[in-house]
């Protein structure tokens, strides 16, 4: 029996914990309490109450030395928003302001930029206009993030931005425009149905007035941090965000993810871990990875062997492991998939839009646990429809079991090399991230 076979074995207590996770209703109970809070937007009272709930759940799971760590941030408060067509007809469309949109009113021509990719924006004439872009991207390429679309359109001269959901159901999407700071132009989300009208009006030189009332103010969020396993010089970080957008319950994004971590922590507490695991729930992911940035600033990077970020796991049937250009985390994910006979789709390409980013940027290997709906885009996420009834907690329980096994296996991996900065930058360029990241202000200065 080789070392990996030995490390994959669990003692009776760990086996019992895995068995409990298979049948226990604690994941559903936690998710119910979390989603019943309502608004968990970064810096809100609901986010604070969610942090308290997570801290209680961590302690009940056996996590030690659990502490809530407040930090200052820039909170965005939603006011009224509207999108009114002024020509060739006069009509109103339901619109939801995108976080960190400034207050403002813009009247201008509508310009359809399709999926909002840089190439499509370049082909259009957005200067002085209201750019209208879909939430999805062309098949066959990477998914282009909202921040990139907005940033590139504004850099090209757009005075305002409309984000059109590609999922039907009269569901305007939301999503932050910047990482933790106010953007330079107002922006709203509209439903697929409204967007169909807007693209039609754009083809007829239609004009509209977009209005946003909002404020960006000093606020406070908090991270919840604890420990599992022995006190070792080297440690792993298991992290998920618990905040959510204010327009829905945040059940899928990321209620499922933090519930997965809570259940995984209980399993890990029963395991004989070879090194310490720091368990963290971070705030303000949806409004700029602010909690993860604060956590990364507080932790000793030299002690961190790797990061496991649970953002998207538990939502759908099959687990996805994003390995962010790390051969070691990819190797572990594939090995666990083989040994558990549970499908884990491995995606090696990196991206900067979740809580692993401050650590990956610093060269720390990462594994992001997501799940696959079989459809492109966020689905119900970032809309009013992100509610508890969409959750099948069997996925949460199974993914928690896999997450615990992945953490245990990663802790036992003998060699987990640091990420090479030049290779990482090359990987981002290979996925055609550079142009969009520069437009969004996300390309690291040290990456020439």
Is the pLDDT score of 291 beyond 90?
Answer: yes
- Mean pLDDT of the 196-221 span: 98
Is the pLDDT score of 17 beyond 90?
Answer: no
Q: Residue 4's pLDDT is what?
A: 45
Domain ranges of the chain: 3-74+219-430, 80-217
For 351, the token pair is 């991206």
Q: Residue 83's pLDDT is what?
A: 98
Q: Which backbone phi and psi does 91 adopt, to 5 degrees? A: -160, 165
The Cα 218–Cα 103 span in angstroms is 16
Is the pLDDT score of 1 beyond 50?
Answer: no
- Mean pLDDT of the 307-320 span: 96
Largest CA distance in the chain: 75
pLDDT tens column, 374-417: 777 778 999 999 999 999 999 999 999 999 999 999 999 999 99
**Cα radius of gyration (the chain):** 22
Is the pLDDT score of 139 beyond 90?
Answer: no
- Mean pLDDT of the 193-206 span: 98
pLDDT tens column, 76-134: 999 999 999 999 999 999 999 999 999 999 999 999 999 999 999 999 999 999 999 99
- Helix/strand/coil (H, E, C) string of the chain? CCHHHHHHCCCHHHHHHHHHHHHCCHHHHHHHHHHCCCCCCCCCHHHHHHHHHHHHHHHHHCCEEEEEEEEEEEEEEEEEEEEEEEECCCEEECCEECCCCCCEEEEEEEEECCCCCHHHHHHCCCCCCEEEEECCCCCCCCCCCHHHHHHHHHHCCCCEEEEECCCCCCCCCCCCCCCCCCCCCCEEEECHHHHHHHHHHHHCCCEEEEEEEEEEEEEEEEEEEEEECCCCCCEEEEEEECCCCCCCCCHHHHHHHHHHHHHHHHHHHCCCCCCEEEEEEECCCCCCCHHHHHHHHHCCHHHEEEEEEECCCCCCCEEEEECCCCHHHHHHHHHHHHHHCCCEEEECCCCCCCCCHHHHCCCCCEEEEEEECCCCCCCCCCCCCCCHHHCCHHHHHHHHHHHHHHHHHHHHCCCCCCCCHHHHHHHHHHCCCHHHHHHCCCCCCCCC
Q: Residue 5's pLDDT is what?
A: 46
* Annotation: CATH topology of 3-74+219-430: Aminopeptidase (3.40.630)
pLDDT tens column, 213-244: 999 999 999 999 999 999 999 999 999 999 99
Is the pLDDT score of 3 beyond 70?
Answer: no
Confidence of residue 311 (pLDDT cuts 50, 70, 90): very high
Give the architecture (CATH level 2) of 80-217.
3-Layer(bba) Sandwich (3.50)
> What percent of the chain stands above pLDDT 70?
98
pLDDT tens column, 271-287: 999 999 999 999 999 99
pLDDT tens column, 144-167: 999 999 999 999 999 999 999 999
Q: What is the mean pLDDT of the chain?
A: 95
Q: Residue 138's pLDDT is what?
A: 87
Is the pLDDT score of 7 beyond 80?
Answer: no
Buried b (16+ CB within 10 A) or exposed e, 238-258: bbbbbbbbbbbbbbbbbbbbb
Q: Residue 287's pLDDT is what?
A: 95
Q: Residue 373's pLDDT is what?
A: 82
Is the pLDDT score of 294 beyond 50?
Answer: yes
Q: Residue 8's pLDDT is what?
A: 45
Q: Residue 6's pLDDT is what?
A: 39
Is the pLDDT score of 140 beyond 90?
Answer: no
Is the pLDDT score of 2 beyond 50?
Answer: no
């Amino acid at each position: 029996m080789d070392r990996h076979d030995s490390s994959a074995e669990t003692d009776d207590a760990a086996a019992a914990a895995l068995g409990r996770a298979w049948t226990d209703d604690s994941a559903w109970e936690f998710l119910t309490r979390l989603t019943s809070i309502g608004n968990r937007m970064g810096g809100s009272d609901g986010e604070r109450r969610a942090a308290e709930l997570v801290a209680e759940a961590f302690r009940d799971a056996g996590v030690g030395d659990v502490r809530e760590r407040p930090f200052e941030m820039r909170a965005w408060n939603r006011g009224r928003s509207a999108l009114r067509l002024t020509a060739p007809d006069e009509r109103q469309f339901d619109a939801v302001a995108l976080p960190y949109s400034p207050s403002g009113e813009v009247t201008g021509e509508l310009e359809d930029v399709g999926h909002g990719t840089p190439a499509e924006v370049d082909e259009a004439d957005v200067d002085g206009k209201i750019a209208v872009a879909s939430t999805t991207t062309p098949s066959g390429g990477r998914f282009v993030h909202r921040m990139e679309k907005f940033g590139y359109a504004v850099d090209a001269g757009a005075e305002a931005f409309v984000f059109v959901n590609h999922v039907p159901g009269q569901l305007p999407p939301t999503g932050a425009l910047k990482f933790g700071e106010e953007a330079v132009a107002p922006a709203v989300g509209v439903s697929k149905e409204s967007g169909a009208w807007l693209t039609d009006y754009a083809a007829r030189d239609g004009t509209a007035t977009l209005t946003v009332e909002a404020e960006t103010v000093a606020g406070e969020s908090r991270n919840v941090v604890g420990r599992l396993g022995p006190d070792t010089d080297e440690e792993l970080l298991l992290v998920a965000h618990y905040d959510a957008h204010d327009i829905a319950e945040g059940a899928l994004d990321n209620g499922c993810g933090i519930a997965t971590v809570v259940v995984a922590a209980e399993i890990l507490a029963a395991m004989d871990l070879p090194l310490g695991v720091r368990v963290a729930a971070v705030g303000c992911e949806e409004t700029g990875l602010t909690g993860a940035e604060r956590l990364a600033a507080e932790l000793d990077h030299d002690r961190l062997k790797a990061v496991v970020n649970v953002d998207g796991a538990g939502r759908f049937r099959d687990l996805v492991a994003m390995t962010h250009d790390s051969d070691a985390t990819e190797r572990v994910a594939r090995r666990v998939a083989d040994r558990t006979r549970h499908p884990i789709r491995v995606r090696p390409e990196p991206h900067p839009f979740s809580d692993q980013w401050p650590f990956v940027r610093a060269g720390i290997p990462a594994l992001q646990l997501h799940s696959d709906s079989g459809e492109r885009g966020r689905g119900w996420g970032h809309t009013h429809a992100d509610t508890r009834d969409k959750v099948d907690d069997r996925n949460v329980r199974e993914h928690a079991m896999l997450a615990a096994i992945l953490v245990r296996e990663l802790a036992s991996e003998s060699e987990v090399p640091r990420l090479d900065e030049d290779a990482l930058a090359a990987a981002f360029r290979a996925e055609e991230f550079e142009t969009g990241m520069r437009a969004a202000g996300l390309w690291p200065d040290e990456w020439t």
